[in-house]
């Protein structure tokens, strides 16, 4: 029996647009709620959310069997965390701050068993192989792993054409917030100067025949990204929805509260 089919990878490589949501609450319960909303993919954030390997595992388990595909963003481009995340069952990873083709090749190698790469042989102990229940896991896992690399700096943009040539990189995600800061526009990802760089990068990815991805909560920007054919788009975050929803509800029912906020 081979490794499970990665439907998200199949979809983006076939040009079928996938709409997703960022999960930053680091909670399996809310991850399951998001999955039941019907998003194509959900990003479990290991970089900026308070996640560890166990909370990522819990969210992967919560998403299992739902229509939403789990994408795990790693905290950094380190071989050891790639190994752990794949072993607990992730099939799609997003790696932040990639700035060279050499770095991209190293990431791909971390997802492949020898002789094609350097992933450690621990499948018999891993949830990914259903604890050795998938007899052909080691032989078939690599084909179903989806590697997404994140370009979010001037150095990454400069190296983009070389990164696009790296075999095993399945998609390129543009990180507009960090890119904006590196370009001198912190907190201003929608600035026209930043968007010119973003759109140029997206166009180069499309010209190379590779799937591109991006995150935004700006409806106008999102409409432009979607109409231009960005393959996988995150249209918001659980934290953003939760905070804006709570604020709107409180505003609707202001009451006579005299509570004083206290932060330690």
16 or 262, which is more confident?
Answer: 16
Show contacts of 128-134: CB within 8 Å, 24+ apart: 128/3, 128/86, 128/87, 128/88, 128/89, 128/90, 128/91, 129/3, 133/1, 134/1, 134/2, 134/3, 134/4
For position 229, what pLDDT does the model report? 94
Find out whether 111 and 150 touch, Cβ atoms under 8 Å: no
Catalytic status, residue 48: yes
Backbone angles phi, psi at 213, to 5 degrees: -145, 160
Q: What is the dihedral of CA 103, 106, 111, 117, to 10 degrees?
A: 160
- Strands (E) across 96-159 are located at 146-151
- Express each pLDDT in 75-124 by its tens digit: 999 999 999 999 999 999 999 999 999 999 999 999 999 999 999 999 99
Model confidence at 21: pLDDT above 80: yes
Q: What is the Cα 18 distance to its own chain's centre?
A: 12
For domain 7-252, the CATH class is alpha beta
pLDDT of residue 204: 97
Other C-beta atoms within 10 Å of 241: how many? 17
- Which of 10, 29, 48, 80 is catalytic? The answer is 48
pTM of the full structure: 0.94
pLDDT in tens, 26-59: 999 999 999 999 999 999 999 999 999 999 999 9
Domain ranges of the chain: 7-252
In the prediction, which pLDDT does 1 show?
A: 87
User: Rounded CA gap, 44 and 50, in Å?
Assistant: 11
- pLDDT, tens digit (0-9, with 9 covering 90-100), for 142-163: 999 999 999 999 999 999 999 9
């Amino acid at each position: 029996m081979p490794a499970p089919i990665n439907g998200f990878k199949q979809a983006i490589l076939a040009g079928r647009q996938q709409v997703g949501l960022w999960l930053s609450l680091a909670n399996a319960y809310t991850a399951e709620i998001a999955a039941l909303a019907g998003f194509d993919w959900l990003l479990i954030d290991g970089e900026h959310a308070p996640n560890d390997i166990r909370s990522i595992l819990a969210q992967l388990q919560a998403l299992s069997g739902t229509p939403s595909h789990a994408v795990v963003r790693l905290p950094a481009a380190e071989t050891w965390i790639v190994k752990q995340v794949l072993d607990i069952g992730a099939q799609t990873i997003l790696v932040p701050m990639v700035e060279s083709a050499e770095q991209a090749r190293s990431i791909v190698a971390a997802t492949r068993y020898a002789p094609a790469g350097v992933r450690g042989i621990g499948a018999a102990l891993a949830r990914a192989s259903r604890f050795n229940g998938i007899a052909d896991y080691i032989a078939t896992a690599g084909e179903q792993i989806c590697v997404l690399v994140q370009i979010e700096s001037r150095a990454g943009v400069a190296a983009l054409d070389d990164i696009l040539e790296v075999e095993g990189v399945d998609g390129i995600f543009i990180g507009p917030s960090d890119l904006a800061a590196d370009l001198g526009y912190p907190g201003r990802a929608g600035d026209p100067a930043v968007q010119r760089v973003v759109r140029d990068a997206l166009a180069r990815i499309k010209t190379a025949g590779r799937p591109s991805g991006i995150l935004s909560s700006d409806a106008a920007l999102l409409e432009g990204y979607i109409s231009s054919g960005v393959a996988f788009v995150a249209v918001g975050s659980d934290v953003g929805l939760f905070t804006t929803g709570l604020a709107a509800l409180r505003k609707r029912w202001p009451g006579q509260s005299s509570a004083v906020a206290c932060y330690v």
